[in-house]
């Protein structure tokens, strides 16, 4: 594959590019969605022995979803691990005691350029309200799960499924 041309066709919350490629003598056109990269974490309260997830409305799903804590790497020069610590504090009100990287992955590499840094975080001290940031128009509620409830839940969000399966694989071995 050889990229011959890239044109920005939309530049809003996300950027969309029309990309012209050459492949085995054929010219192909593809649209590519280019968002900011993201971070996410499965958060475990070591005092209460429960997982802290969040519930918020998601436009593409047209309903609230329960997910692990997540956010965009959108502050200049901020590293992904700094971003997720900030997001955990903003969304849950908890300070992070321990942060462990799980994996970095592309969410939908066929047309979507987002990369997610996934973490496991332990918390024990709540120092803030949580609920998100008003200036970002976030309306976030925290939801807690025991390990049993977490492993039985039917999550619809991919990053949450990946994190829960990772945690379940640790618990079984």
Which active-site residues does the annotation give? 136
Token pair 């997910």 is at which residue?
A: 67
70 known member of a binding site: yes
- Cα–Cα distance between 35 and 112 in angstroms, integer? 8
- Cα–Cα distance between 131 and 141 in angstroms, integer? 6
87 known member of a binding site: yes
171 alpha carbon, distance to own chain's centre: 22
Cβ neighbours of residue 30 closer than 8 Å, sequence gap 6 or more: 18, 19, 21, 111
- Cα–Cα distance between 137 and 155 in angstroms, integer? 24
**Residues annotated as binding site?**
70, 87, 91, 138
**Residues annotated as binding site for Mg(2+)?**
70, 87, 91, 138
């Amino acid at each position: 594959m050889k990229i011959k041309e890239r044109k920005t066709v939309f530049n809003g919350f996300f950027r969309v590019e029309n990309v012209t490629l050459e492949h085995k003598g054929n010219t192909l056109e593809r649209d590519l969605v280019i968002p900011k990269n993201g971070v996410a974490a499965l958060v475990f309260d070591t005092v209460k022995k429960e997982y802290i997830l969040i519930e918020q409305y998601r436009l593409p799903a047209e309903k609230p979803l329960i997910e692990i804590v997540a956010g965009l790497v959108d502050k200049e020069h901020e590293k992904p691990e700094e971003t997720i610590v900030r997001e955990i504090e903003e969304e849950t009100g908890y300070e992070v005691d321990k942060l462990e990287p799980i994996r970095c992955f592309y969410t939908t590499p066929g047309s979507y350029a987002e990369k997610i840094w996934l973490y496991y975080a332990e918390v024990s001290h709540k120092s803030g309200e949580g609920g998100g940031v008003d200036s970002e128009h976030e309306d976030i509620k925290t939801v807690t799960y025991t390990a049993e409830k977490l492993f039985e839940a039917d999550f619809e969000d991919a990053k949450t499924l990946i994190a829960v399966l990772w945690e379940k694989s640790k618990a079984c071995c």
